[in-house]
């Protein structure tokens, strides 16, 4: 039995769950204690030095990073195929995944910093939300062009790119930045929400949101340190949150990957 370390709100974990369910692969889930705090331990910490979900345990062997895990799942369970057979189509799917994993995720993550963790409030929060809405609209437009008139990003069949786009577009919708219902991407979102594998992941995420009401106080006390890595840090700075980063560093309630995490 595969064990997937995850959190329902993680779009990266959602990708893996959707893929496994599309392939009818049995797995069990576990949410690491103190996930996202920088204070996780045990098997999960050993599985992923970055301290982030997802991590997949296969016969005692840990895998981390959602893209690497998806590659394993596709190789180990090739039916039904999610990865395009054509090399160019495969490269296109990976391009879409990369944009969502980096640029799109950073926007949604930044909005969660404002909405749930209250890193910015008042005029600053309003200005950052407005910038995020503009950024999301551009990305949704880019995705709509990639989708074109097809039902799915891979053409006629639901596939790799659909798995990788779904959690991010759904996440942006939760922040009020859903694509227009009449757009190509809006119609696609309606189709993708109807798939059982996707609907289950989205329901699990929705049910987990209630637990986010108390996280701001935990962060303020320094008991929960959010990771500001690569595109997330870039988004926060370029969208007007430089002071947010400075305050977080001073309060010691943001973190980066520790070099010691890779000690053996």
The tens digit of pLDDT for each residue in 61-102 reads 999 999 999 999 999 999 999 999 999 999 999 999 999 999
Residue 39: per-residue pLDDT: 66
> b/e per residue, 75-95, with b = 16+ CB within 10 A?
eebeeeebbbeeeebbebbbe
* pLDDT above 60 (res 264): no
The mean predicted confidence, pLDDT, of the chain is: 93
Measured CA to CA, the distance from residue 129 to residue 126 in angstroms comes to 5
What are the structure tokens assigned to 229, written together?
């890595």
Q: CA 57 → CA 63, 155, 180, distances in Å?
A: 6, 32, 39
Burial class (CB in 10 A: 0-12, 13-18, 19+), 177: buried
Q: Are 202 and 15 in contact (CB under 8 A)?
A: no
What is the pLDDT, as a whole number, of residue 260? 63
List the CATH code of the domain at 2-76: 3.40.30.10
Higher-confidence position of 221 and 4: 4
Tens digit of pLDDT for each residue in 101-114?
A: 999 999 999 999 99
| pTM value surpassing 0.85 | yes
Q: Assess whether pLDDT exceeds 70 at residue 38.
A: no
Q: Per-residue pLDDT for 258 more than 90?
A: no
């Amino acid at each position: 039995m595969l064990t997937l370390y995850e959190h329902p709100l993680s779009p990266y974990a959602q990708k893996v769950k959707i893929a496994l369910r599309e392939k009818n692969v049995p797995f069990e889930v576990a949410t690491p204690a103190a996930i996202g705090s920088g204070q996780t331990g045990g098997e999960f910490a050993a599985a992923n030095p970055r301290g982030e979900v997802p991590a997949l345990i296969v016969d005692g062997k840990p895998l981390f990073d959602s893209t690497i895990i998806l590659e394993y799942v596709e190789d180990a369970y090739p039916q039904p195929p999610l990865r395009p057979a054509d090399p160019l189509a495969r490269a296109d799917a990976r391009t879409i995944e990369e944009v969502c994993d980096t640029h799109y995720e950073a926007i949604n993550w930044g909005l969660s910093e404002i909405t749930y963790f209250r890193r910015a409030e008042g005029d600053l929060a309003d200005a950052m939300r407005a910038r995020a809405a503009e950024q999301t609209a551009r990305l949704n437009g880019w995705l709509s062009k990639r989708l074109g008139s097809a039902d799915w990003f891979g053409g006629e069949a639901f596939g790799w790119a659909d798995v990788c786009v779904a959690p991010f577009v759904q996440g942006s919708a939760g922040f009020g930045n859903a694509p227009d219902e009449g757009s190509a991407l809006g119609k696609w979102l309606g189709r993708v929400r109807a798939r059982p594998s996707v609907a289950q992941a989205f329901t699990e995420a929705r049910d987990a949101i209630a637990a986010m009401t108390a996280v701001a106080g935990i962060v303020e006390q320094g008991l929960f340190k959010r990771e500001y890595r690569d595109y997330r840090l870039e988004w926060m700075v370029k969208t007007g949150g430089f002071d947010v980063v400075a305050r977080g560093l001073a309060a010691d309630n943001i973190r980066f990957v520790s070099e010691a995490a890779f000690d053996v």
